[in-house]
Structure 1
Amino acid sequence: MKFTYSSGQRPLDGFTLKRGIGRGGFGEVYFAVSDGGKEVALKLVRGDTQIELRGVAQCLNLKHPNLVNLYDLRTDHHGDRWVVMEYIAGEPLNVILNRHPNGLPRELAREWFLGLARAVAYLHDHGIVHRDLKPANIFLENGMVKVGDYGLSKAIGSSQRTAQTHSVGTVHYMAPEISTGNYGKQIDTYAAGIILYEMLTGRVPFDGESSGEILMKHLTTPPDLSQIPTEYLPVLSKALAKNPSQRYASMTEMARAVEAIEAGGAAS
């Protein structure tokens, strides 16, 4: 994996880069240490930055134990934009799921889902739709769920139809209504339902040979709930409804439904 900068460089005043830790469509992420000794992640934002940076700016003041904290938005002497954020040493959920092809222990799936739901409910309460919930954006650090990459999110009700929206989200987790340009908070409820399904079974409910095939299944195919533990059937039936108005009215409501599944019942 080739990065623009190498260890020891200081492209952004106040920080020394230690190593590159990730690359994506929106730029590069580095592990760095501030001059004051604080470990941080620095995201170099590339490409069409307007949407990303507007989302980041909205999220700078959000603080929740289940969110990866965004500390600052800075510009270097080249004019490149950087996001200064919390460094998470823990693994992403997709890596953990790869080690559990038949799903996680039910009590663990329940606990981690509730951490995810609390983070997303907090974003929604502040007018933010995550829009890109998937296991690769959910981290486990010291047993604590941390939801990241919500800088892609937009304010609820802001301009929806842009070319950028088509690259937002991963098809396995995309709600049916995204195909019509609807990016309400219900898309996060649907994605959270897919993630809960995957944590319980080890697989996603809709798969296929192409993005188009998977998207069509989101639109038309009922999810196969035959491998889902009985106590989770009502929750997933509702969360994965094709019609957003038939899903949970809020992430808080969905979390309450999962909380109501007794720890003893969930572990059986």
Structure 2
Amino acid sequence: MPPDCYLPEALVAGAPSTGWQVGKEEFLWEDNAQTLLQVTPRGVLGRGRTAEVEEVVVPGSVTALARKRVFIARINAPSALEKTGLRAEIDILRNSSHHHIVKVIGCYQEPVGLYSANFFVLLYPSADCDLHIFLEEKCRNSCRITRKKYVWYIKKWFLCLASALAYLHYHGIHHEDIKPANIVHRGKVVYFTDFSSSRKIASGDETSTESPATATRLFAAPEAMYEDGRMLRHGSKTDVYSLGLVFIEMLTVITGRGIDDLREYVFGDTIGMRQYHRVIHKLVAWFRDSTDSKRLSSIVLSAMLKHERKDRLSAQGVADRVRNLRDFYQSDACGCKWIRWERAEDIIDNHNFTNTDEDGEFVIV
């Protein structure tokens, strides 16, 4: 962190006491948990291609946790990709401390038969829902008063998400799968989650643009894919592009329209792979007559969704632009309005180990 930069307590507050493994090792890796966990009445919060997430508590505790379960078919295989990916995700989260990034509380393993296992990761907080559900269902189906509250939430989340992404990039972390389903909220607070596709730039790395990534194609930047649909590894400003597309959907709801309306407008009867980056000209037209969000949509369309990634703003640049819109897109209760995560001169002067990512952004490594 820049030496002269004040970091508000709101940005580094940890999880409250959960009762998990009190006085014992919290990250068990190969071992069973000694702390009993109970599934709450909310049960399963979501399912993905490789994982299931459910809400749990330690008996006697009031703090709910999200428990991510991944089935690993051959737990002892040296090349078990699921296990390697989970360790990388946990390491990233253990070393991240930002108010808008989920916190990892612990992990453990339970055998299934002789060769398989369930691997569990405990996360805080247990979210109300992801941004995909929030935008497409909760906002659409709510009454007028509740919808007005939700729109207020969304307006504050632009700066929160840009700040969290700037934090990640400052520390050399690329998320690489930014989409509404990988952003969650608990009340009025929003969080990045699911870092299973992420990577950390190591000191001395030759940052490649050829290793595969798994970013969802709908929200992928143009440089993140070959024409045949294969995914590419990418730099920090590719994350910015994906976040810009998430912002497009958030702005759509703010202007009183639905995500279904947006996709019908830009894709119509498109046959084949739907990708926002192929219809940017239609996104421009979609917001042309929207006065309520004109300033912010201009930032997104003109600075985040440039076709050439070198022409895009950094995540901190986006946060600065949103911050300059003043109180309409800020919350006094959130420290995002005070902090900056891009001070190249401070990184160079105060850290022995520095590097740049594919887009030339300085990072701590």
- Shorter-chain TM-score bucket reads 0.7 to 0.9
The one-letter code sitting in structure 1 at the alignment partner of 2:284 is L
Residue in structure 2 matched with residue 251 of structure 1 by the alignment:
315
The one-letter code sitting in structure 2 at the alignment partner of 1:40 is L
Residue in structure 2 matched with residue 117 of structure 1 by the alignment:
162
Give the C-alpha shift of residue 210 in structure 1: 7.1
Aligned counterparts, 1:1-268, within 5 A: 12-18=33-39, 19-34=43-58, 37=61, 38-46=63-71, 48-49=81-82, 50-78=84-112, 79-98=117-136, 99-100=138-139, 108-156=153-201, 161=210, 165=213, 168-180=214-226, 181-202=232-253, 203=259, 207=267, 212-215=272-275, 218-219=277-278, 222-228=281-287, 229-236=293-300, 237-248=302-313, 250-263=314-327
Instruction: State percent identity of aligned pairs.
Output: 25
Inter-partner Cα distance in structure 2 for 1:146 and 1:29: 16
- How has the CA–CA distance of structure 1 residues 210 and 41 changed in structure 2, closer, same or farther, with 3 Å as cutoff? farther
3-state DSSP class of the match of 1:152? coil
Inter-partner Cα distance in structure 2 for 1:14 and 1:210: 51
Structure 1 stretch displaced more, 38-47 or 104-113: 104-113
Give the C-alpha shift of residue 110 in structure 1: 3.3
Q: Contact 1:17–1:30 (CA<8 Å) still a contact in 2?
A: no
3-state DSSP class of the match of 1:222? helix
- How has the CA–CA distance of structure 1 residues 159 and 244 changed in structure 2, closer, same or farther, with 3 Å as cutoff? closer
Larger Rg: 2
Per-residue CA deviations over 1:7-65 (Å, capped at 9, x if unaligned) read xxxx7431323133322112122222235635322111235412343222232231211
Aligned structure 1 segments of 4 or more residues deviating by more than 3 angstroms = 77-80, 103-110, 156-163, 202-213, 219-223, 262-266
Inter-partner Cα distance in structure 2 for 1:14 and 1:182: 39
Count, aligned residues:
250
The one-letter code sitting in structure 2 at the alignment partner of 1:14 is T
- How has the CA–CA distance of structure 1 residues 190 and 238 changed in structure 2, closer, same or farther, with 3 Å as cutoff? same
Inter-partner Cα distance in structure 2 for 1:88 and 1:235: 32
Inter-partner Cα distance in structure 2 for 1:88 and 1:81: 18
3-state DSSP class of the match of 1:257? helix
- How has the CA–CA distance of structure 1 residues 112 and 246 changed in structure 2, closer, same or farther, with 3 Å as cutoff? same
- How has the CA–CA distance of structure 1 residues 107 and 30 changed in structure 2, closer, same or farther, with 3 Å as cutoff? closer
The one-letter code sitting in structure 2 at the alignment partner of 1:257 is R
Inter-partner Cα distance in structure 2 for 1:211 and 1:76: 44
The one-letter code sitting in structure 2 at the alignment partner of 1:95 is I
Residue in structure 1 matched with residue 29 of structure 2 by the alignment:
none
Inter-partner Cα distance in structure 1 for 2:215 and 2:247: 17
Gaps spanning 5+ residues in structure 2: where? Answer: 1-31, 73-80, 141-146, 227-231, 254-258, 288-292, 331-365
User: Normalising by structure 1, what TM-score?
Assistant: 0.79
Inter-partner Cα distance in structure 1 for 2:175 and 2:153: 23
Gaps spanning 5+ residues in structure 1: where? Answer: 1-10
- How has the CA–CA distance of structure 1 residues 221 and 97 changed in structure 2, closer, same or farther, with 3 Å as cutoff? closer
Residue in structure 2 matched with residue 4 of structure 1 by the alignment:
none
Inter-partner Cα distance in structure 1 for 2:156 and 2:271: 31
Give the C-alpha shift of residue 239 in structure 1: 0.3
User: Normalising by structure 2, what TM-score?
Assistant: 0.60
3-state DSSP class of the match of 1:213? coil
Q: What is the RMSD computed on CA atoms of the aligned residues?
A: 3.1
Inter-partner Cα distance in structure 2 for 1:159 and 1:36: 48
